[in-house]
Structure 1
Amino acid sequence: MALLDLDARWRRFNNPDRQCPCCGQSFSGVFDLGFDHPSSWPHEARNDAPFVKVGEDQLAPDLCRHGDDRFIRVVLSLPIEGSDEVFHMTPWVRLAQDAFYAYLDTFDGNDAPSIDECPADLANILPGFEEVTTTPLPVMLHFPDADVRPVAKALSGPLAQAQIDGISFDQLLDIYAAFGQDIRPHLLHD
């Protein structure tokens, strides 16, 4: 038994058969969250559209070009303390143009030399990790396979520590709330 299993809210959160007494909503555990676009994207959100193009700026589900900046969407993982679960977010990162085009050459399984890793900067403000900095948060990208998104590892600060130590269940719930999905009230009572 994991330590978090002792928390009644965690058990309610992971029980798809339980319905919230106030609204009937049910939950089946940890779910991932993603960002539609980099924070600096000045145009409309992509939402369910396959592609947005405004002049030379372009936004697709995993690639973005805005002015001279190039972005890709990555996976950033945070273990959840007291459980075996991992929470994943898919923020955007800005990377050097040469790295962007090297990644693009391998995109969708194209037969090109793979990239092992490269530096990048987070292009979204992550809820719970809104450190006040004068520069974007640097991350290192790892490219496990051409068929999956690159993995981002923070190089320093609270986010890097959270990727090592994990986040609490309360921090996870705060992140969900910041994304407009405040489920905390639905987990309080049977």
Structure 2
Amino acid sequence: MTSNPGFTCSCCGSHHVELPMNHSAEAPCFWEPSFADSTDCLLSPDQCVIRAQHYFVKGLIEIPITGSDEVFSWAAWISLSRDNFARSADLWDTPGRETEEPYFGWLSTDLFLYTPSTINLKTHVHTRPIGQRPLIELEPTDHPLAVEQRTGITVERVREIAEAVLHPADSESK
């Protein structure tokens, strides 16, 4: 699959010019809009702190697309311990940071397409070179998301995900 011809959506009937190969959560599931004005809270594109007690980084759950060299990804939030968050922040702009051991974390993004919930799945966060989001490796369980990360998904599954994300009310009624 070297080109992205888009897809015709079964929910709305429209032809979408491009098939999205990634989707991103804006904030961890525990974030509330009222936190934005608090001095002990932070939400940036890459890091989040809630009440100076809960620490998160954004990474990518990468899923290979079968029969191609392409990868689908979920940009999701992982909670880290205070020490691991501080270490990650200290190394944020440090060349060679990708040699760091993975950090243990808990998935803190609700990917509503999956049952059971994705909240609190065990993960390892692998730091990558500067400018690249960390790689999120899910614990190898029988959870559908973990299975997809290990075995890959089809282009048809990527279309299903795109339709569900673009039309969440329609996908919940199916």
Please classify the TM superposition score into its range, dividing by the shorter chain length. 0.7 to 0.9
SS in structure 1 at match of 2:105: strand
8 A Cα contact 1:128 1:171, kept in partner = no
**Is 2:11 the counterpart of 1:66?**
no
Structure 1: state its 5+ residue gaps: 6-10, 46-51, 183-190
Counterpart mapping for 1:16-165 below 5 A? 25-43=15-33, 52-67=36-51, 68-109=53-94, 115-132=100-117, 136-155=120-139, 156-157=141-142, 158-165=144-151
Structure 2: state its 5+ residue gaps: 169-174
- 1:51-80 CA-partner distances (Å, limit 9, x unpaired): x44231110110100121100000111112
Residues 36 and 105 (structure 1 numbering): CA distance in 2 closer, same or farther, change over 3 Å?
same
SS in structure 1 at match of 2:124: strand
Greater Cα radius of gyration, structure 1 or 2 = 1
Quick one: distance in 1 between partners of 2:69 and 2:113? Answer: 21
SS in structure 1 at match of 2:110: coil
Residues 113 and 160 (structure 1 numbering): CA distance in 2 closer, same or farther, change over 3 Å?
closer
Residues 178 and 141 (structure 1 numbering): CA distance in 2 closer, same or farther, change over 3 Å?
same
SS in structure 1 at match of 2:157: helix
- 1:139-189 CA-partner distances (Å, limit 9, x unpaired): 11111223311100110232222112112333222222232258xxxxxxx
**Identical-pair percentage:** 23
Aligned-residue RMSD, C-alpha:
3.2
Quick one: distance in 2 between partners of 1:145 and 1:84? Answer: 21
C-alpha deviation, 1:83, in angstroms: 2.9
Quick one: distance in 1 between partners of 2:99 and 2:70? Answer: 30
